[in-house]
Chain A
Amino acid sequence: MNKKAGTAKYKVVIVTLIKIIVAVIMFSPIIWIISGGFKTLTEFTTSTDIIPKKPTLENYIYVFKYSNFFKYFRNTVLLMLGTGVGTLISSSLVAYPLARMDFPGKNMFFALIIATMMVPGIALIVPQYIMFGKFGWLDSLLPMIVPAFFAHPYNVFLFRQFFRSIPKELDEAAIMDGCSHMGVFFRVLAPLSKPTYATIAILSSVFWWNELTQPVFYINGDKWRTLTIALMTSFMYIKGNTFVINWPTIMAASTLMIIPPMLLYFFGSSYLVEGIKTSGLKG
């Protein structure tokens, strides 16, 4: 008995140690980014100390003063809002009949939605580029915001899973009372699905805050540039010198960019876990 307790204790120490090592590995790039933002260019290119010898704010001053940071920030926020509102409305509407109604072709449509989930967006981006060019939408946020209003397969799937977990008696009772399907959706299911709306709002916001691929393809000019492209272009070089990469400024801008998703996760994590759990893979 005593021996068993001894090995259990030993096990706890080992597991805790592995946990801490993994945590350090996972967090190292973030520490590196934050520390780099407070270094001067000379220190960044000569020293690997985590705590800067002479901490400086010059990188942040550069980002705010000499670049259009606020404009890029506004563009990214507009992109997040537009796509978020679009996908929340359209994806939940599309998920409703898939979860709650019977109609011809239901299984086929659902299979098609799952199949489109598997198509990598990057494979369709060139034809879409030509198409959006014909619409005159290039160099704006429209190629990303407009499709969001026409349902995103993955979000449809998450909504459907959650709707199915709500007892069907609730909407049957509502229909008995003369409620239409619209009424059931807006008065019964939508209010009960707040955790899923929150989950998808968080996932979608984080996705679009981080998204690089589509803006790289669709946006050329400075006017609608998002923060992710700005990080690759606008803070890249020392003023007037395209040969020396201004790493500490990139790190300062990166620090500003990693804070919002971290905060979103921090305050939304309870929703996130709940939303993903309830949308598990069975059924």
Chain B
Amino acid sequence: MEPPFIKKAGLMRKGGPLMKEKGRKNRHLANNLTAYGFMLPWFIGFICFTAFPVIFMFFVSLTNRRLNGISQFIGFTNYKNIFASSTFRNSFKVTIFFTIVMMIVTAVWALLMAFLLNYKQRLNGIFQFFYFIPSVIPSVALAYAFRTMFGKDAGLFNALLSSISGSNVRINWLYNERTVYPVIFFITLFTYNTGQMMLIFRSGLNDVPVDLYEAADIDGAGFWTKFGRITLPMISPVILFNTVTGSISALNGSFALLYPLTGDTGDPNKMTQVLSLLIYNEAFSNYKVGYGCALSVILFLLACVFGIALFGISKKYVYYEN
């Protein structure tokens, strides 16, 4: 009757085998009930705000529900329409491209900043303030700053290029199909994601034992050798954590950045219409909530695939001390 976990429980150690069987069972029951009592808020929250919406979403995705609530069961028609739609196929590709590139670009930049900050110097606190501060300001404010900095007229970037090249540069960076991606990925360096990763990388870098570097120095290893053979393997669990959270926040946070930057139609020419923008567009501009739910199901499954894939890769490459 008694499950094996009881052996581990702290109660046993104190009560010892002398405690009467019945009393022990009662105390265990009380102990478990207390634990579940503490966990109650999460149980309720998980059921109401995660599990139920997931199941509900699958059901609504099988209807043609409109924003006004009128709905009818239509089977898998939404999914058929989705896979036949070129808008969706484009959006799906954009989402995967955006997520992977943003994950890599922000992680590399965050690691670079963490490296610079771990180079002990006076005024490091001030540098950290400058590096971290863009990630705590609202993404809307950031988006508007960059919309004007990369604007055609009186944009800071065009002015800089003009003064360097000597000619009058007038590029509409965010509306030009050739420049929009580099500019967007540059802007992602300023998001919350990057700042968060930088802090985590910093503590990861601090945890690398100094004697490893000292030993490498004695062997005459250069910077890149030390980086590739010591730093990267030692911080690989941190890199994994950052890429997992980074890909989720790229899926999640792209809305708050791209909606004020390029709109829910994903200008130019749907090149930035990630799935979250398409969901908003279909459900709230076209009132197709059932269709929006089917898209949400796909986004949900995509997030699962990303999570599983990253953990699969990690088994091969991540080094754990213990």
Contacts and interface: CB of A to CB of B under 8 A. Distances in A.
Contact of A126 (B146, B260, B283): B283
A160 to B, nearest CB: 11
A150 B238 contact: no
B42 interface: yes
B293 interface: yes
Contact of A265 (B136, B190, B252): B136
A97 B39 contact: yes
A149 B45 CA distance: 8
B276 interface: yes
Nearest to A265: B136
Interface in B129-169: 129-134, 136-142, 144-146, 148-149, 153-156, 159
Given A118-B307, A211-B256, A257-B137, A127 B57 contact: yes
A254 B144 CA distance: 9
B192 A101 contact: no
Given A93-B41, A123-B299, A18 B154 contact: no
Interface stretch (B5-13, B16-24, B72-80, B172-180): B5-13
A28 B148 CA distance: 12
B184 interface: no
Given A97-B38, A126-B289, A251-B144, A212 B260 contact: yes
Contact of A250 (B3, B144, B159, B259): B144
A25 B159 CA distance: 16
B129 A119 contact: no
Interface string A256-282: 011001101110010011001100111
A127 B259 CA distance: 20
Contacts of B156: 28, 32, 48
B260 A232 contact: yes
Contacts of B252: 120-122, 213
B300 interface: yes
B138 A212 contact: yes
Contacts of A8: none
Interface stretch (B84-92, B199-207, B224-232, B265-273): B199-207
A95 to B, nearest CB: 9
Interface in A185-227: 185, 206-207, 209-213, 216-217, 227
Interface-central residue, B39, B155, B204, B241, by most chain A CB under 10 Å = B39
A176 B304 CA distance: 45
Nearest to B294: A126
Nearest to B54: A124
A131 interface: yes
A10 interface: no
B137 A172 contact: no
A16 B244 CA distance: 31
B116 interface: yes
Interface residues of A, number: 94
A45 B154 contact: yes
Contacts of A176: 14
A69 interface: no
Contacts of B203: 276-277, 280
Contact of B56 (A97, A123, A130, A266): A130
A-side interface mostly = helix
B244 to A, nearest CB: 7
Nearest to A227: B138
B36 to A, nearest CB: 7
B133 A30 contact: yes
Nearest to A119: B303
A46 B145 CA distance: 16
Interface stretch (A51-59, A60-68, A109-117): A109-117
A29 B146 contact: yes
Contacts of B116: 15, 18-19, 22
Given A97-B35, A258-B138, A23 B53 contact: no
B54 to A, nearest CB: 7
Contacts of B276: 122, 213
A96 B280 CA distance: 38
A271 to B, nearest CB: 12
A243 interface: no
B212 interface: no
Contacts of A207: 192
Given A29-B146, A120-B248, A156-B42, A261 B136 contact: yes
Contact of B131 (A12, A26, A45, A216): A26
B97 interface: no
A30 B45 CA distance: 38
9 contacts: A26-B130, A90-B45, A97-B39, A125-B296, A149-B41, A180-B34, A210-B136, A212-B255, A282-B237
Given A30-B133, A150-B44, A281-B238, 14 more contacts: A36-B145, A97-B35, A97-B36, A102-B31, A106-B35, A120-B251, A124-B54, A130-B65, A149-B41, A182-B34, A185-B38, A210-B137, A210-B138, A280-B204
